[in-house]
Chains A and B, each alone.
Chain A
């Protein structure tokens, strides 16, 4: 729709009168036709529906902005466009299958979804102390790789939205390297379902440690590029500094965690305060900034990637000494019976296992059948084991009734909670700063809507 004449034919984009005033559908390059449609008596207050399909709203987020000129007087979020009923679905699948569902929630940090779920299941099963060391180290390794890839997307898309396209291209370039590692280790670039109750799905493939070491060496050269491009860039700073301000009291009241909280100068990180998966054994620092704005959140994310590299290196060193160690809990009543392996025709059950259940032991076959079809029972009770995801506190509230399926699984997703700060971060500012403020929260709608 570029001219008034064209718009007359457009049934979808025609202005229409409603009880709330005249409604226009703006599709770009049509400002003239819109201004022609307004008479002089119209008030300056405009309500803009931004999204749910908008390139700079991080997925299907709908923003309802009330504008006075270019100043936002009221900002509200409309969410739910990506609601898939994952929590409901999990109630109909057994505990192991739940991993396959929850990994799809926050699709930029799948390993964290899996980890918090599995830690909760393990707590209910009371096998937290029985998880093999190698599984713990592999979880940490994958989570930290995932933190890097997630932060890279946050910085890349955040940069793209303010016009810093180079930041976007190099961000996705590096993220691709991480996804290659994921593919090598888990077989998939996303939706891995690799962390399972009791451990991880399979051992590291040969050569993975070398690839990881090459990656960390390369990232140490590449990460400073982001700092060179952005940290002191006057345009970048002008767009980010002082935007989306939210201080510590505001963060706690609104439940914000993760980089927005740490950008207020408060060094709160669940990896330090409530260590899980053996994080207490790694040497790393909690990164903070003291400006409580979008720029501070960017700097926190950038600095955290360096810390993640430190953890990855330590984890790789530990894994080098754990070759051949078990990656699944010893309890055969919980451990997934088959061990997958990569064959010439892709990933499948290991031939050793098939030989065992089909040719050697009837009991093993029965056991395999029971665990795969029915699953294990989890004692009745509830658990909540949060982890520090790239976006903040991610926790799974799991309720079991003693059956083979979750009675209730609820995920406290940091994107969902942090997005509540949209109003306080944007109201009173310019409309262009709304984009920056939301990008600094880094919401992932798959996690918000679940």
Chain B
């Protein structure tokens, strides 16, 4: 969790103590000047803010001294950063570790063989996709904690789902769940839709994941393949604002019809509790003093 490159402008911007590091040269040796922008420009990583956030984990992968890389050699992808040893933001952190900046890293692509029946499913799916000229439909595969996730290219989702449902070697007859996840820091892929499919024939479960940018929140609907996705997609629209093209009635389901905004998005505040005592109110949990 310790970045080896101490040139994080965030740390210097805040003027806090250097983070813990096992880099023998010490963090202060090549620390940029306090005007972080200028300091960054002369460094070897003269990138924009956004690029920097994204490129950090790749850079770290090359350095075996960090504890980010485990032995499985899988490439990981990042979505945002975490500041402070205790995850505290703003006030309240008197620990001195407030300047620690660590990337948030999700499990990366799995390499063949995936193990067990994962390979059978992947082979059968690949064979079907190749025969229908949809080679690139599976962007990548993640195997983590005994669950396999296929990241599907957005516009190919209905075809892939149809194959998964109908192919004699796949037979994912049952769409258990559809849920949205909002990764505000996953640039260009802020909105994710996650499908959990179940094959009762083979007793297997897989997960499909589709992403779309926040600027273009459209994902093809799966109602034509799995009618059960009807309400699940409506809920995902209601909560995240992801529009499912081809859905028979894309309306709100849990919130009132005239509700503004989509509550489960990360930029939607939780809201406080009004207390009728001299105008005071209890702030929402993320604005209270916190230790985590």
B-binding residues in A (CB < 8 A): 79-80, 83, 85, 87-89, 92-94, 123-124, 126, 252-257, 268, 273-274, 370, 373-375, 380-384, 386, 393, 395, 397, 399, 401-405, 407-408, 410, 412, 416-417, 419-420, 449-450
Query: How many positions in chain B have a CB within 8 Å of any CB in the partner chain?
Result: 52
> Do A403 and B149 form a contact, CB below 8 Å, given A85-B263, A373-B291, A412-B177?
no
A-binding residues in B (CB < 8 A): 79-80, 82, 86-87, 104-107, 144-147, 149, 173-177, 179-182, 194, 196, 198, 200, 203, 205, 207, 226-228, 230-232, 235, 239, 252-256, 263-264, 268, 270, 284-286, 291-292
> Do A383 and B147 form a contact, CB below 8 Å, given A253-B227, A374-B291, A403-B82?
yes
A292 CA / B292 CA spacing, docked (Å): 50
User: What are 26 inter-chain pairs, A to B, with CB distance below 8 A?
Assistant: A88-B263, A88-B264, A253-B227, A254-B227, A274-B205, A373-B291, A374-B86, A374-B291, A374-B292, A380-B104, A380-B107, A382-B207, A383-B145, A384-B177, A384-B207, A393-B198, A397-B177, A397-B194, A397-B196, A402-B104, A408-B179, A408-B181, A408-B182, A410-B180, A410-B181, A412-B179
A402 CA / B203 CA spacing, docked (Å): 30
Given contacts A88-B268, A274-B203, A393-B198, 20 further A-B contacts (CB under 8 A): A80-B256, A89-B270, A92-B270, A252-B173, A252-B174, A255-B175, A256-B228, A374-B292, A381-B106, A382-B149, A382-B207, A384-B177, A395-B196, A397-B194, A401-B106, A410-B177, A412-B176, A412-B177, A417-B232, A450-B254
Chain B neighbourhood of A123, CB < 8 A: 145-147
Chain B neighbourhood of A407, CB < 8 A: 181
Chain A neighbourhood of B292, CB < 8 A: 94, 373-375, 403-405
Chain B neighbourhood of A403, CB < 8 A: 82, 87, 292
Q: Which residue of A is nearest B229, CB measured?
A: A255
Chain B neighbourhood of A395, CB < 8 A: 176-177, 196
B106 and A380 within 8 A (CB) = yes
> Do A254 and B196 form a contact, CB below 8 Å, given A402-B104, A404-B87, A408-B181?
no
Which of B145, B196, B268, B291 is within 8 Å of A381, CB to CB?
A: B145
Chain B neighbourhood of A401, CB < 8 A: 79-80, 82, 104, 106
Chain B neighbourhood of A273, CB < 8 A: 200, 203
Minimum Cβ distance to chain A for residue B247 (Å):
13
Chain B neighbourhood of A89, CB < 8 A: 270
B196 and A420 within 8 A (CB) = no
Chain A neighbourhood of B291, CB < 8 A: 370, 373-374
Chain A neighbourhood of B82, CB < 8 A: 401-403
B255 and A124 within 8 A (CB) = no
A402 CA / B230 CA spacing, docked (Å): 32
Minimum Cβ distance to chain B for residue A109 (Å):
17
